[in-house]
Chains A and B, each alone.
Chain A
Amino acid sequence: MTDPAADIILTTENLVKIYPGSDKPAVAGLTLNINRGTIYGLLGPNGAGKTTTISILCTLLQPSSGTATILGHDVARQAGAVRRKIGLVPQDIALYGSLTARENLRYFARMLKVSGTMIEDRVAECLQLVELQDCADQRVSTYSGGMKRRANLAVGILHQPDILFLDEPTVGIDAQSRNLILERLVELNRSGVTLVYTTHYMDEAQQICDEVAIVDGGKMIACGNPSRLVHDSVSCENLEELFLQLTGKQLRDRME
């Protein structure tokens, strides 16, 4: 019999983040347990605390209280060890527009400490995975929105991370690019990469996620397999209806 704890790759316990000058927590006691090899969707309306949670898990923010560990390493105290295990595909197109995709990937591969002899192979593999090999030597600034998103994804997987965080990776792109990205994410997951994923597209989450957590006001309000959550609900036919039922239809405008 295997120890269930051994399969947990990421855990948070009573995670709290209060930004300086704010009296309301962005994350208010969030507890998560994410198993290795899953696609985990972190869903919530604007201002729910999704990006803050991912920022803490990616060592970009210090939690105000609570703990978060990835592969047994505390994200606050062992940030260096955590950074070697994680990949991030941020919401912004975090690439150098005046460099080509290949030059961007080579640079980030070095920053990710990919072995020197492996860099060219990994760059070629990642470019092929996101189907940018034919325009790899063009400047990123000349790319379409979908191509930029795919290049953004390629950088996140260069070093074959154990866990990949994706913050709305399909926002604002055409159906073809979106479909390709989702297919590649599933492929990556099959190769053993755990994915933690935020999106506002509920159909997307229902399509690819093994498990979702719906958060609102920094707290978890539902968690589980998306199909099962829909099935167990009273009157919802899909995840979007369940999401609106749980979080309400009130607009969630927020100030940055």
Chain B
Amino acid sequence: MLLLANIKKELLLLSRDRLSLLVLFVMPMVLVLILSLIQDDIFRATGGAPTTALFVNLDAGDSGAELRRNLQSNGALTLVEDRAGEAFDVKSARQAVFSGDYQFAIIIPAAFTTEINQAAKESVQAALSHEDPSRRSSQITIVFDPAVRGVYRSAVLNALQLGVLGLELSRKSSAFEQLLPDELHRSMTEQMGSVFPVGMLPELPQISFDWTGQQLITLDEELASPEKYATLPTSVQQNVPAWTLFGMFFIVIPLAGTLIREREEGTLTRLMTMPVTNSSLLLGKVSAHLLICMIQFGLMLMVGKFLLPLFGTPVLELGSSPFALMLVAVSAALAACGYGILVGVVARSYDQAAIFGSVSIVIAAALGGVMVPIYVMPRFMQTLSIISPLGWGLDAFLDIFVRGGHLTTVLPRVAALGGFFLLCMIVAMVIFQRWRRGN
């Protein structure tokens, strides 16, 4: 009976705070929806929606076009050849990948058809004449965004290998078809003279099948960076900034909590009777929590630099622009603090702020590509991802950590984060002023 009474009391208490209940039910539903949608393509057995890649075909012959058909027919890649009707060339494709607009560009060289036809012919000839297979091949360049994680890069390379394999088989078969009758004729003539009895089987030419393994086309991976990296960006370079940013945004909960506690305990009411401006009250909170965020940021970098290597990971490299790095960190921390202030003035209780704050950060992180890269999300989720401040921050961090970006590279995203901070603060100030005037 005591237990039942306690259960009833708890349920009654819960039912009295309907807004918290709403947040408790609605926010996880939104979270499930968003996370399921963004990961849909990754877990789909069929491979899901194709990855978009730029395709720059400089080939004068038909092999480039055939490769494009192969790639499109296997369904793993969606190839884009122009933007707003203007075809990509090598330079603009590299720039588009470098700026993060696209993650991959496939560049087919001008003499592609000639080179692979020649290579196929030499390869088959070498096979028939028992010579060493030809070393000739044509080279396709794949430019990729350094921010692309290894697993997705491998997936694209595999899809490309599949397309290339089909093309190689087709070219080798053609060469074989062309060369085999001549070789048969030559072989018979050699063995039996120009006239041989009908029905007499000549010894067929011996074929070395080493040629089947010989590559006519090689793939050259290239990072879209002004100064090429000696090595590929490591998982540490990609993960540390992502999770650092995620951690920094959790300042929202203690920050909103201080505002709510001051309201509940009456200290805010007391402060409102004092000759102190709203801006000094709120900016005081922002400044203190900004400091906490920056300390947090420093600690996370130290984990990447000193602690993770102890467990066998590569050392975190901080990029070439410490000033740009600090600017991004400060603007991301400001955005987090501004959001915390807004949650603090809107939420009616600590419970509401804690639930809404934490779940909204997880959603923003998911949308912003912290958990799953934006380029592997379904198209409409990619469109939705542009509203996430965590996405802006992550992009700016990746610019510095893996794309070799500088101050000018990150400025647009820094401005967006600063704008988000200002917007949150203005809305919070308006609500705060309404409280202060007793409305």
| Chain A residues proximal to chain B, CB less than 8 Å | 20, 55, 58-62, 80, 83-84, 86, 88, 90-97, 108, 111-113, 155
19 A-B residue pairs with Cβ-Cβ distance under 8 Å, sorted by A, are A20-B439, A55-B438, A59-B273, A60-B273, A60-B436, A61-B438, A62-B437, A62-B439, A80-B275, A83-B274, A83-B275, A91-B266, A92-B265, A92-B266, A92-B269, A94-B267, A94-B270, A108-B270, A113-B275
CB nearest neighbor in B for A84? B275
The answer, among B267, B269, B273, B439, for a CB contact under 8 Å with A86, is: B273
Q: Are A94 and B266 in contact (CB under 8 A)?
A: yes
Alpha-carbon gap, A60 to B271, bound state (A): 10
Please give me the residue from chain A that is nearest to B437 by CB atom.
A62
Q: Which A-B residue pairs are the 7 nearest by beta carbons?
A: A92-B266, A61-B438, A94-B266, A94-B270, A83-B275, A58-B273, A88-B273
Task: Give the shortest distance, in Å, between A168 (CB) and chain B (any CB).
Answer: 13
Q: Complex Cα distance A228/B44, Å?
A: 88
CA gap between A97 and B267 in the complex, in Å: 10
Report whether B274 and A60 are in contact in the complex, using a CB–CB cutoff of 8 Å: no
B274/A94 in contact, CB under 8 A: no
**Given A61-B438, A62-B438; A96-B273 close (CB under 8 Å):** no
A41 to B234, CA, bound (A): 73
How far, in angstroms, from A95 to B270 measured CA to CA in the complex?
9
Point out the residues of chain A lying under 8 angstroms from B274, CB to CB. Answer: 83, 108, 111-112
The answer on a CB contact under 8 Å between B267 and A96 is yes
Residues in B neighbouring A80, C-beta threshold 8 A: 275
Tell me which residues from 242 to 300 in chain B have a Cβ below 8 Å from any Cβ of chain A.
265-267, 269-276
**Bound: A61/B437 CA distance, A:** 6
Q: Which residue of B lies closest to A56 (CB)?
A: B438
Q: Report whether B266 and A111 are in contact in the complex, using a CB–CB cutoff of 8 Å.
A: no
* B437 / chain A contacts, CB cutoff of 8 Å: 61-62
Residues of A within 8 A of B267 (CB): 94-96
For the complex, what is the distance from the CA of A80 to the CA of B437, rounded to whole Å?
Answer: 12
A-B pair number, CB within 8 angstroms: 52
Task: Give CA–CA (A58, B301) in the complex, Å.
Answer: 48
B residues near A (Cβ < 8 Å) are: 265-267, 269-276, 436-439
- For A155, the chain B residues whose CB sits under 8 A away are 270
Q: Report B378 CB to chain A, min CB distance, Å.
A: 45
Chain A neighbourhood of B271, CB < 8 A: 111
How close is B434's CB to chain A, nearest CB, in angstroms?
10
A interface secondary structure, majority: loop
Least distance between B196 CB and chain A CB atoms (Å): 107
The residues of B that contact A62 with a CB separation of less than 8 Å are 437-439
Given contacts A108-B274, A111-B276, contact A60 B266 (CB under 8 A): no
Q: How far is the CA of A96 from the CA of B261 in the complex (A)?
A: 10
- Chain A: minimal CB distance from B374 (Å): 42
Q: Which residue of B lies closest to A158 (CB)?
A: B274
Least CB distance from A102 to B in Å reads 16
Residues of A within 8 A of B266 (CB): 90-94
B433 to chain A, nearest CB (A): 11
Could you say which of B273, B274, B439 has the most chain A C-beta atoms within 10 Å of its C-beta?
B273
User: How near does chain A come to B260, taking the closest CB pair, in angstroms?
Assistant: 14
Query: Quick check: A94 and B269 within 8 Å, CB to CB?
Result: yes
Tell me the bound Cα distance from A112 to B270 in angstroms.
Answer: 11
- A24 to chain B: closest CB distance in Å? 17
Chain A residues near B276: list those with CB within 8 A: 111
The complex places the Cα of A96 from the Cα of B355 at a distance, in Å, of 24
Using CB atoms, name the residue of chain B closest to A86: B273
Known: A96-B267, A111-B276. 15 other contacts (CB 8 A): A20-B439, A59-B272, A60-B273, A61-B437, A62-B439, A80-B275, A83-B275, A90-B270, A93-B266, A94-B265, A94-B266, A94-B267, A94-B270, A97-B265, A111-B271
A176 vs B155: C-alpha distance when bound (angstroms): 79
Measured CB to CB, the closest approach of chain B to A6, in angstroms, equals 25
Inter-chain CA distance A83–B274, complex, in Å, is: 5
B272: which A residues are within 8 A, CB to CB? 59-60
Query: Across the interface, which residues of A come within 8 angstroms of B273, CB to CB?
Result: 58-60, 83, 86, 88
- How far is the CB of B285 from the nearest CB of chain A, in Å? 13
Query: Roughly how many angstroms separate A222 CA and B271 CA in the complex, as a whole number?
Result: 33
Identify the closest chain A residue to B270 (Cβ). A94
Residues from chain A with Cβ under 8 Å of B269 in the complex: 60, 90, 92, 94
Q: Closest residue to A54 on the B side, CB-wise?
A: B273
Question: How far in angstroms is the closest Cβ of chain A from B237?
Answer: 40
- Specify which chain B residues have a CB less than 8 angstroms from the CB of A59 in the assembled complex: 272-273
For the complex formed, measure the closest distance between the CB of B277 and the CB atoms of chain A, giving whole angstroms.
9
A159 to chain B, nearest CB (A): 9
Task: List, in ascending order, chain A residues with CB within 8 A of B270's CB.
Answer: 88, 90, 94, 108, 155
For B262, give the chain A residue with the smallest CB separation: A96
B-chain residues with CB within 8 Å of residue A60 when the two chains form the complex: 269, 272-273, 436, 438
How long is the Cα–Cα vector from A177 to B30 in the complex, in angstroms? 53
Which chain B residues border A55 with CB–CB below 8 Å?
Answer: 438
Given the complex, which residues of B lie within 8 Å of A113, measured CB to CB?
275
Residues of B within 8 A of A96 (CB): 265, 267
Q: How far is the CB of A169 from chain B (nearest CB, A)?
A: 13
Distance between B394 CB and nearest chain A CB, rounded to angstroms: 35
Q: Nearest-CB distance from B350 to chain A (Å)? A: 15
- Cβ of B291 to closest chain A Cβ, rounded Å: 17
A108 to B275, CA, bound (A): 11
**Chain B nearest CB: distance from A73 CB in Å?**
12
Give the nearest-CB partner of A85 in chain B: B275
How far, in Å, is B287 (CB) from chain A's closest CB?
Answer: 15
- With both chains docked as a complex, state the minimum distance between the C-beta of A198 and any C-beta of chain B, in angstroms: 15
